[in-house]
Amino acid sequence: MGQILCRHLLESQEFELVFGVDKDPTKYENQFPVFKNAYEFQGEIDLIIDFSHYSNLEALIEYATEKKVPTVIATTGLTENHMDLIKRAAKKIPLLYSPNMSLGINILNSILRQYSRVLSDGFDVEIVEKHHNKKIDAPSGTAYLLANTINQALDDSMEFNFGRVGTDCLRNENEIGIHTVRGGSISGEHTVIFAGEQEIIEIKHTALSKDLFAHDALRASKVLVKKPKGYYTMDDIYNL
Ligand SMILES: NC(=O)C1=CN([C@@H]2O[C@H](COP(=O)(O)OP(=O)(O)OC[C@H]3O[C@@H](n4cnc5c(N)ncnc54)[C@H](OP(=O)(O)O)[C@@H]3O)[C@@H](O)[C@H]2O)C=CC1
Ligand SMILES: O=C(O)C1=N[C@H](C(=O)O)C[C@H](O)C1
CB 92 within 8 A of CB 62: no
The residue whose CB lies within 8 Å of the most ligand 1 atoms, and thus the one to mutate among 22, 58, 101, 135, is: 22
Residue 71 pLDDT > 90: yes
The residue whose CB lies within 8 Å of the most ligand 1 atoms, and thus the one to mutate among 3, 23, 100, 215, is: 23
Q: Measured between alpha carbons, how far is 77 from 141 in angstroms, rounded to an integer?
A: 6
The per-residue pLDDT for 94 is 98
Ligand 1 near 98 CB (within 6 A):
yes
Q: Measured between alpha carbons, how far is 85 from 134 in angstroms, rounded to an integer?
A: 27
Span from the CA of 140 to the centroid of ligand 2 (angstroms): 6
Ligand 1 near 37 CB (within 6 A):
no
The per-residue pLDDT for 154 is 97
The per-residue pLDDT for 27 is 81
Q: Measured between alpha carbons, how far is 23 from 27 in angstroms, rounded to an integer?
A: 10
Rg (CA), the chain: 19
pLDDT band at 44 (very low <50, low <70, confident <90, very high): very high
Cα distances (angstroms) measured from residue 128 to each of 108, 119, 139, 163, 228: 14, 18, 9, 9, 36
Of all ligands present, the nearest one to the C-alpha of 96 is: 1
Residue 222 pLDDT > 90: yes
Q: Which domains, ranges and CATH numbers included, belong to the chain?
A: 2-101+210-238 (3.40.50.720), 103-206 (3.30.360.10)
Sequence ranges of the binding site: 40, 74-76, 98-101, 132, 141-142
Average pLDDT taken over every residue of the chain:
97
φ and ψ at residue 39, rounded to 5 degrees = -65, -15
pTM across the whole model: 0.97
87 given a catalytic annotation? no
Percent over 70 (pLDDT), the chain: 100
The per-residue pLDDT for 29 is 79
Span from the CA of 3 to the centroid of ligand 1 (angstroms): 10
**What's the whole-number mean pLDDT along residues 98-127?**
96
Of all ligands present, the nearest one to the C-alpha of 75 is: 1
Residue 30 pLDDT > 80: no
Tens of pLDDT along 147-172? 999 999 999 999 999 999 999 999 99
**What's the whole-number mean pLDDT along residues 109-124?**
95
Stretch among 21-25, 101-105, 214-218, 225-229 having the lowest mean pLDDT: 21-25
The per-residue pLDDT for 176 is 98
227 given a catalytic annotation? no
Choosing from 130, 131, 190, 215, which is the catalytic residue? 131
Omega cis (within 30) before 139 = yes
The per-residue pLDDT for 28 is 80
**What's the whole-number mean pLDDT along residues 220-224?**
98
The per-residue pLDDT for 47 is 98
Residue 201 pLDDT > 80: yes
The per-residue pLDDT for 120 is 84
